[in-house]
Structure 1
Amino acid sequence: MKKRLDLQMNNLKEYQGMLQAVFLATQDAISVVNEKGEHIMVNPAYTNITGIEPKDVIGKNALFDIEEGESLHLKVLNSKHPVSNTKLKIKPSGKTVVAQAAPIIVDNILKGSVAVLHDVTGIKDLTEKLEEAEKKIRQLTYKYLPEDIIGDSQKLKEVKMQVLKASKVPATVLLRGESGTGKELFANSIHAQSQRCDNKFIRVNCAALSDTLLESELFGYEEGAFTGAKKGGKKGLFEEANKGTIFLDEISEISLNTQAKLLRVLQEKEIMRVGSTVPISIDVRIIAATNLNLNQAVKDGKFREDLFYRINILPIYIPPLRERKEDIPLLINEFIVKINDEYGRNIGSISSEAVKLLMDYNWPGNVRELENVIGRSIINMNFNEQIIRKEHLPHLHPPINATSSFVELKNIDEIQKLSFITENAEKDYIRNVYCKLNKNKTETAKKLGISIRTLYYKMDRYGIQE
């Protein structure tokens, strides 16, 4: 009998030693409370995760180490049932843990509760880094998702909803909006959410190419089609974008001759290389963009009416930044992160005074101008400075309301069409900027945030003398 008891005692000591070894060695925190909910035992990992020494927690209530969430110990003591997979925030370390607990029952009597806490802070940090990496990959591959378009304003939410709808249908899209509003970003988002997302997204700035070059770039050419043509000919961008999407930015700058050929692509779904008589079938989704009033261009005979109706099937208006100023703080933070990465800086934030100044500005260059201003502000900062302040901001010109004036109408006969008023204001402003920059067209176009071709068009339209 004594021999049997000695054997059982030895077995118990072995089990106790094994349990103690597990208790000490496990990387998860373990805490034990008695039936009163008071801590009676914790393991070393508990201190590593919570930051609390055993002497500071023993005898303390089960709520002692919880910053956010309910105590699993108290739940177990009240229900006498296990609780699993509960997310908690622990103090004082502030770490996030996933916890589970079970009752300690001896001879059908509840003696306490034991809880295991698994630290998921590292997983959370890795997830955030992974999401950031995925976002950067989307930027590098030009596949933007709705969450990559920064802003929570109601106007931007409406645009995002229209973009989502556009991505679900194969219809041609016309993006309308001022220069610098990010029309290419929205075009890419439509492509990235569409069934064509695994195929190419080709970008074409129609204003950057001469008419002859644009035609050969879009439709390709055969060998010997013109002087300098490559041997064997060349594929056009429409062929490159087959099964994918082609984005025609500043489509209003295309000549009437090229417009006619583009109309054939939309109607017949085929292209003809320069110097060829053989049509090539293609399957390309067209997204066009313009910062001009195409209705007026049609009336002026500068844009084909039949082409306008072909591309205006699904029009989406991108609001200028001045119409969604509540998005400015979010955009500033995004640009700080982006420019920190590009310039190797560590700027943390921007002062409220600087934000107010940026909020009061009218942003004729829209989001592109805002990014430019933040970049220049960071360049103006010393390397030991981490907060963008008012003095770091470049001079913002023109200031808000700089070109506006109140016109008192004495009688109803003086009322004029709004288009006449806005065109006159645009004409005067372009003339003033042009003269201010010593009639430098390149610099004028750059400051105005428009292409040089658009500037020539506007100067010719408004009769601005060179």
Structure 2
Amino acid sequence: MGKPDVEINSLDYQGMLQAVFLATQDAISVVNEKGVHILVNPAYTKITGLEYDDVLGKNALYDIEEGESLHMKVLSTKKPVENTKLKIRPSGKTVVAQAAPIIVNGVMKGSVAVLHDMSGIKDLTDKLEEAEKKLRALTYKYKPEDIIGQSASIKEVKNMIEKAAKVPATVLLRGESGTGKELFANSIHAQSSRKYNNFIRVNCAALSDSLLESELFGYEEGSFTGALKGGRKGLFEEADKGTIFLDEISEISMNTQAKLLRVLQEKEIMRVGSNKTISVDVRVIAATNADLIKSVEEGKFREDLFYRLSILPIFIPPLRERKEDIPLLVKSFIVKFNDEYGRNIVDISEEALNILMSHDWPGNVRELENVIGRSIINMNINEKMIQAVHLPHLYSNKKTQTMNCVVYKDEELTSLNNVLEKAEAEYIRNAYFKLENNKTETARLLGISIRSLYYKMEKYGIE
């Protein structure tokens, strides 16, 4: 290899090295073999808050507030030290530093350290975490103030919700379909210490047993046909440090019940296809419209799981038992649909409100919301008040209601079972039609699982 065309003397080298040393953006400090500072660059004085003359001649510990001196470690071991977290004085900044020995002709002459300021990155990380917390709060589907009502029964529920939010106990929400169990679960989470972490809802009735298990607990690669490469985290892992809401808990199989019991007892899950446990810290809120005590007696639900879930049971009253809340609910729905539909409805007439007050609301608050939404759709753009004429037809459950009865001739008499099936088929068909062929809403109204609804519709030929 030939000599370079340009000859550079030692003074030139020294000047170039000094220029590089002064210009670099990384903070650099150099100590001699005794651990005394002999050289620092401007970036160092900026990050530490020490002036050049303050640190020169001081030992390697002079600028350290918390942590071990990398210089002294290098001098004692004669080996480089990799990234180490330190807190320096007087600025109090957190830095990550690395150091290496200075060896000339085999003789240790000192140590050189490079410091990287981490405070800016920490500030950004803190801001990002804060933004994520605010985003989670903004993306709650429901908020505590969405619980509308001043009746004694709903005030009692609100009081129970506040108590439940203050403790990590498992909650069992009981109530008919349409009473808003997800709203109350969200409210517990939003008022708890877990509010800045995930709230995850699982509709246990909407998933098959095998799919529900893999969704809840995750799976390992190759555990079943179609499993993603690398496996997948389950919803319990996603909800770690947060809350998981298990809606329609009565629909899960005995096998999945056993695994859920393990989570509640041991606070750990096991992915499908794995034999390793994963610790999780999850608040469980379950909900059902079924009589779980009856399910336990019939052997369809584990007794031990029932008692684990019902540490803090909360009963949500049906709308027919708190009709005094209907005017407030109607006003809140008007505000909601005004925003969604771009309307300017101001109130509801006394006649229309009386019709709503006389209805028994088998579909509860969800049915009332549906009625108000359809009423506003039925109104002309210039109309400002909901009138009786705008209300869709409501079926009253009063005892004084005249029932349409089928009178059978002698030759038409049949078994009671056939009569019941015919009545059931007709009622499901009417409900399905009234709810505009929405299977999920129909199942909720009827108080059955979506799987049961599919079975009955197929049985009765309802399309």
Taking structure 2 as the reference length, the TM-score comes to: 0.62
CA distance in 1, matches of 2:402, 2:291: 21
For the Cα contact (< 8 Å) 1:207–1:454, is it kept in 2? yes
Q: Which residue number corresponds to residue 144 of structure 1? A: 143
SS in 2 for 1:449: helix
- Relative distance call for 1:233 and 1:451 in structure 2 (3 A) is farther
Residues 419-448 of structure 1: CA deviation (Å, up to 9, x unaligned): xxxxxxx99974540355799997676346
Q: Which residue number corresponds to residue 322 of structure 1? A: 320
Pair 1:156-2:154 in alignment: yes
Q: CA deviation at 1:139?
A: 6.8
- Relative distance call for 1:142 and 1:305 in structure 2 (3 A) is same
CA RMSD of aligned residues (A): 3.1
CA distance in 2, matches of 1:368, 1:168: 28
Identity of aligned residues (%): 64
Alignment of 1:160-179 (within 5 A): 160-179=158-177
Which of the residues 221, 224, 227 maps onto 2:225?
227
Residues 6-55 of structure 1: CA deviation (Å, up to 9, x unaligned): xxxxxxxxxxxxxxxxxxxxxxxxxxxxxxxxxxxxxxxxxxxxxxxxxx
SS in 2 for 1:202: strand
Q: Which residue number corresponds to residue 204 of structure 2? A: 206
Q: Which residue number corresponds to residue 354 of structure 1? A: 352
Return 5+ residue gaps in structure 2 as ranges: 1-134, 404-419
Alignment of 1:406-445 (within 5 A): 430-434=424-428, 436=430
Q: Which residue number corresponds to residue 341 of structure 2? A: 343
Residues 265-309 of structure 1: CA deviation (Å, up to 9, x unaligned): 011110000111100000001000000000001111111111111
For the Cα contact (< 8 Å) 1:216–1:273, is it kept in 2? yes
CA distance in 1, matches of 2:421, 2:174: 21
- Aligned AA for 1:433? Y
Which of the residues 180, 185, 188 maps onto 1:187?
185
For the Cα contact (< 8 Å) 1:253–1:453, is it kept in 2? no
CA distance in 2, matches of 1:444, 1:197: 32
SS in 1 for 2:169: coil
- Relative distance call for 1:345 and 1:465 in structure 2 (3 A) is closer
Taking structure 1 as the reference length, the TM-score comes to: 0.61
Q: Which residue number corresponds to residue 62 of structure 2? A: none
Return 5+ residue gaps in structure 1 as ranges: 1-135, 406-425
Q: Which residue number corresponds to residue 420 of structure 1? A: none
Q: Which residue number corresponds to residue 247 of structure 2? A: 249
For the Cα contact (< 8 Å) 1:270–1:280, is it kept in 2? yes
Which of the residues 369, 372, 393 maps onto 1:371?
369
For the Cα contact (< 8 Å) 1:434–1:444, is it kept in 2? no
- Relative distance call for 1:443 and 1:430 in structure 2 (3 A) is farther
Pair 1:449-2:447 in alignment: no
CA distance in 2, matches of 1:365, 1:333: 19
Residues 378-402 of structure 1: CA deviation (Å, up to 9, x unaligned): 0000001111000000001254447
- Aligned AA for 1:144? K
CA distance in 2, matches of 1:431, 1:315: 34
- Relative distance call for 1:403 and 1:168 in structure 2 (3 A) is farther
CA distance in 1, matches of 2:271, 2:434: 38
Q: CA deviation at 1:459?
A: 10
CA distance in 2, matches of 1:266, 1:187: 18
CA distance in 2, matches of 1:264, 1:395: 48
Q: Which residue number corresponds to residue 290 of structure 2? A: 292
Q: CA deviation at 1:200?
A: 0.8
For the Cα contact (< 8 Å) 1:269–1:281, is it kept in 2? yes
CA distance in 1, matches of 2:284, 2:143: 17
Pair 1:280-2:274 in alignment: no
Q: Which residue number corresponds to residue 197 of structure 1? A: 195
- Aligned AA for 2:365? V
Comparing 427-436 with 193-202, which one deviates more in the overlay?
427-436
Q: CA deviation at 1:455?
A: 5.9
Q: CA deviation at 1:140?
A: 3.6
For the Cα contact (< 8 Å) 1:250–1:290, is it kept in 2? yes
Q: Which residue number corresponds to residue 22 of structure 1? A: none
- Relative distance call for 1:444 and 1:230 in structure 2 (3 A) is closer
Q: CA deviation at 1:318?
A: 0.1
CA distance in 2, matches of 1:444, 1:250: 16
CA distance in 2, matches of 1:382, 1:267: 57
Over alpha carbons, which structure has the higher Rg? 2
Q: Which residue number corresponds to residue 258 of structure 2? A: 260
For the Cα contact (< 8 Å) 1:188–1:201, is it kept in 2? yes
For the Cα contact (< 8 Å) 1:175–1:315, is it kept in 2? yes
- Aligned AA for 1:142? K
- Aligned AA for 2:244? I
Which of the residues 294, 299, 302 maps onto 2:300?
302
CA distance in 2, matches of 1:302, 1:261: 15
- Aligned AA for 1:392? H
Q: CA deviation at 1:227?
A: 1.1
For the Cα contact (< 8 Å) 1:238–1:284, is it kept in 2? yes
